[in-house]
């Protein structure tokens, strides 16, 4: 009968042989290439979506109403900025194969600011003094999200290349 330490040593030898086996190394290499293909495909889709949103914002803009024009284009271009930041994050990962969390915090900040602008634009367009409380709560919570994400970004260690 084999002792527990003998079984553990055998298990470790089997694991070491598997880790060094050429089949495993080739499989890991193929999966790494497929992972890069997925990230590059997503990057291309983010880029195409950004271009589409910018062109659509210009084409479908209401050029006769300045407040509507500003609100719509600002909303769309902030969405493009979020997509660009996600594209930047994907490209950093494809180049370095290291995950950086700061771009996601920036995307969250942009998304929250975008929400604040949309809430403000909706409220000013449909102002009803008696029903302002839900908007104020939404603005307050979203502002807290911006502050917390900003604090998290400031506390996170600055990474080279961001």
What's the predicted TM-score (pTM) here? 0.65
Strand, helix or coil at 161? coil
Q: What tens-digit pLDDT sequence spans the chain (162 residues)?
A: 556 666 777 778 877 887 787 888 888 889 989 998 998 999 999 999 999 999 998 888 777 877 777 777 888 888 898 899 889 888 888 888 887 888 888 888 988 988 888 777 767 666 666 677 777 888 889 899 999 999 998 888 665 544
On whether both 110 and 150 belong to a single domain, the answer is: yes
On whether both 85 and 112 belong to a single domain, the answer is: no
The range of the structural domain enclosing residue 76 comes to: 1-96
Beta carbons within 10 angstroms of residue 77's beta carbon: 15
Domain count across the chain: 2
Boundary (domain end) residue, out of 73, 96, 119 = 96
On whether both 20 and 87 belong to a single domain, the answer is: yes
């Amino acid at each position: 009968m084999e002792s527990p330490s003998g079984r553990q040593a055998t298990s470790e030898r089997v694991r070491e042989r598997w880790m060094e086996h050429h089949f495993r190394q080739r499989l890991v290499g193929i999966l790494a290439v497929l992972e890069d293909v997925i990230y590059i495909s997503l990057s291309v889709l983010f880029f195409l979506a950004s271009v589409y949103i910018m062109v659509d914002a210009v084409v479908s803009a209401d050029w006769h109403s300045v407040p509507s024009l500003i609100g719509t284009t600002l909303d769309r271009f902030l969405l493009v900025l979020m997509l660009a930041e996600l594209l930047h994050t994907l490209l950093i990962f494809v180049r370095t194969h290291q995950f950086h969390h700061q771009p996601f915090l920036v995307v969250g900040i942009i998304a929250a600011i975008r929400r604040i602008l949309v809430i403000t634009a909706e409220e000013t367009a449909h102002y009803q003094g008696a029903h302002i409380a839900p908007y104020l709560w939404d603005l307050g919570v979203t502002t807290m999200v911006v502050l917390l994400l900003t604090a998290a970004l400031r506390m996170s260690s600055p990474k080279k290349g961001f």
